[in-house]
A and B are shown apart, each in its own frame.
Chain A
Amino acid sequence: MLNQLSISELTAKLAKREVSAREATQACLNQIQAHDGELHAFLSHDVSDALAQAEAADQALAAGTRHEQQPLLGVPIAIKDVIAVKGQPLTCGSRILGNFNSPYDATVTTKLRAAGAVLVGRCNTDEFAMGSSTENSAFGRSCNPWDTTRVPGGSSGGSAVAVAAQMIPGALGSDTGGSIRQPAAFCGCVGLKPTYGRVSRFGLVAYASSLDQIGTFTRSTRDAAVLLHAIAGHDAQDSTSVPQGVPDYAAALDGDLKGLKIGLAKEYLLGGLDAEVKRAVETAVQQLTRLGAEVVEVSLPHTEYAVATYYIIATAEASANLARFDGIRYGARVSGADPIELYANTRGVGFGPEVKRRIILGTYVLSSGYYDAYYLRGQKVRTLIRQDFLKAFQTVDAIVTPTTPSVAFKAGEKSGDPLQMYLQDIYTISCNLAGIPGISIPCGFSANPKLPIGLQFLGKPFGEATLLQVAHAYEQATPWHRERPAQV
């Protein structure tokens, strides 16, 4: 089944002309056709456009273009529906964008096209990437392919489902507080959030600009290395993208772990962590030791303040970023007697409950009289959280943690209690506040029901190569990433 091949397996077959890009793309489209009615990974996909791109890739391959020149030539890729793809719908999982059709490509989209990828469709997300389950999508939730009564995680849940359910070998997501790593953990795939500034955000609809970063979903760390390499790099269109060269991540994968020091963060293994998840992480740590790494305990003392800090900073930035959705220049409009009433009516109808809640919280923490007590204090605690990591990285090369406190929860289980939902992000959120890279890879399964467990590695700023190397070594020694959901 061509849709089950990894990116690396597929490019090897495409290069040898054993399969065509059209056949591979058709296999992915067939899988979407067969399962997306139930799983709802995609918000939109364009069959004829995808096949036309695939045929163009086949022509390029026939004309002698090699994967050394275009590393993703003929590879189907899906994109979270918060990233602009020219000529295609962009909804952000929200009704407020109406029938918005992107007038330009995001930089990552341009880079994927330049690398030869076949852009198949746009994946479901919590509205404006705000959520941990996809239950906040205005167009209905996605289902976890391991157990459809459970959530796939969020906000990039659709991308995780598409990869885990063998609909696509790779997908892009965005991660503001765990929105790539948590759904990757819940669905059993590899999710990589790069360092802040590693990947251009131009054309990514902004949620919290100092935290947002685009990253990848794949079925192996090798594929994560290939896909990251295709999208990373400085971009003059994003003044926060960092002018620093992009290493050959795939070439760095095969080193062994001897001499590497990995920190075990003691604050991440305290109360609230599910016993099966804890056991899987402890077993993984033993495996890392057997692979030659030295595992030492480290302390990140401000961890318990990360969720509170995040919900001040992220909502404050969101309240400013989402001011642009006012019914004037694009999207839906609900009329009013004057412009102010038009804005309020449009936003009242167009935004869903979680987005409204975060706009209200963000507006409040920035409002006169509360700014110092909330926002400024939050920014100072953010400094302390970042310093914790930089101090730990003076003695270790990477930090290992669980990705989530539990396996995938049931749909509806937490949707009535926003604070409980926010606490889902407790192990992923510090990484964004510190601006460092993080990756989640499969490290086992719960017994009954059988659900994936994620292992997270956190790295030094721009230390993606080390993270990928450690994750790859673990992956080569364990069977977890090869497991597939039974129904698909």
Chain B
Amino acid sequence: MATGDFDVHYVAHLARLKLCPEEERQISDQMGDILGYIEKLKEVDVSGVEPTAHPFPLVNVTRPDVSRPSLPHEDALRNAPQKAGGLFTVPKIVE
């Protein structure tokens, strides 16, 4: 759990989050404190302990496979920042 190799620029890229240099500097400083605190967990003996993903794991939750009304098209597009022809508009992906 080394914290010295925390590269905020790289992690921000993974998160698709543009940070200004001042934000990068501030988050790096604060992350040192926070990761330092989280180091506490190294003290705990977790050998043989199963991880918990959910407090009450319900398995094989299914529902009847029947069609039902979905969100109307215009409602799904209501909050789109840009739309045209009943579709979401995005920047060109393929030349």
Contact = CB atoms under 8 A, between A and B. Distances in A.
B71 interface: yes
Interface in B43-72: 43-44, 46, 49-56, 58, 61, 63, 71
Give the interface centre of B16, B51, B92 by most chain A CB atoms within 10 Å.
B16
A435 B56 contact: yes
Interface string A424-444: 000000000111100000000
Contact of A383 (B6, B41, B50, B61): B50
Contacts of A384: 44, 46, 49
A331 B51 contact: no
A382 B41 contact: no
Give the interface centre of A302, A343, A349 by most chain B CB atoms within 10 Å.
A343
Say what secondary structure dominates the interface of chain A: helix
B63 to A, nearest CB: 5
A165 B41 CA distance: 41
Interface residues on B, range: 35 or more
Given A305-B41, A339-B91, A380-B49, A360 B8 contact: yes
Given A327-B81, A376-B51, A383-B51, A363 B11 contact: yes
Nearest to B33: A419
A301 to B, nearest CB: 10
B55 A435 contact: yes
Contacts of A338: 91-93
Contacts of B15: 319, 347, 359-360, 363
Interface residues on A, range: 35 or more
A360 B17 contact: yes
Given A240-B58, A376-B51, A386-B55, A356 B23 contact: yes
Nearest to A336: B91
Interface in A101-158: 101, 103-104
B16 A340 contact: yes
A381 interface: yes
Nearest to A317: B53
A343 B93 CA distance: 13
A345 B18 contact: yes
Give the interface centre of A326, A359, A364, A435 by most chain B CB atoms within 10 Å.
A364
Interface string B12-31: 11111111100100110011
B76 A103 contact: yes
A364 B6 CA distance: 8
B51 A305 contact: no
Given A308-B37, A338-B93, A360-B12, A373 B27 contact: no
A174 interface: no
A418 B16 CA distance: 22
A353 B42 CA distance: 28
A364 B32 CA distance: 13
Contact of A353 (B8, B23, B31, B71): B23
Given A328-B90, A331-B81, A339-B91, A356 B17 contact: yes
A360 B24 CA distance: 10
Given A333-B81, A373-B1, A305 B40 contact: yes
A374 interface: yes
A461 B88 CA distance: 44
A196 interface: yes
Contacts of B18: 344-345, 347-349
B52 A379 contact: yes
Given A239-B61, A332-B81, A339-B91, A461 B49 contact: no
Contact of B44 (A302, A332, A367, A418): A302
Interface string A186-201: 0000000000110000
Given A348-B19, A379-B51, A380-B46, A339 B93 contact: yes
A207 B90 CA distance: 26
A246 interface: no
Contact of B81 (A98, A347, A364, A383): A98
B30 A357 contact: yes
A191 to B, nearest CB: 20
Nearest to B39: A308
Contact of B78 (A101, A309, A319, A435): A101
Given A307-B37, A338-B92, A386-B52, 8 more contacts: A98-B79, A197-B56, A239-B61, A240-B54, A333-B81, A344-B16, A359-B15, A360-B15
27 contacts: A99-B79, A104-B75, A239-B61, A240-B54, A302-B44, A308-B37, A308-B41, A309-B41, A311-B37, A311-B38, A323-B16, A328-B88, A330-B81, A344-B16, A344-B18, A348-B17, A360-B11, A360-B17, A360-B31, A363-B14, A382-B51, A384-B49, A386-B55, A418-B34, A419-B33, A435-B54, A461-B55
Q: Which 4 A-B pairs have the closest CB atoms?
A: A435-B55, A348-B18, A379-B51, A333-B81
Interface of A: 98-101, 103-104, 196-197, 210, 236, 239-240, 242, 302, 304-305, 307-309, 311-312, 319, 323, 326-333, 335-340, 342-345, 347-349, 351, 353, 356-357, 359-361, 363-364, 367, 373-374, 376-384, 386, 418-419, 422, 433-436, 461
Interface of B: 1, 6, 8, 11-20, 23, 26-27, 30-31, 33-34, 37-38, 40-44, 46, 49-56, 58, 61, 63, 71, 75-76, 78-82, 88, 90-93
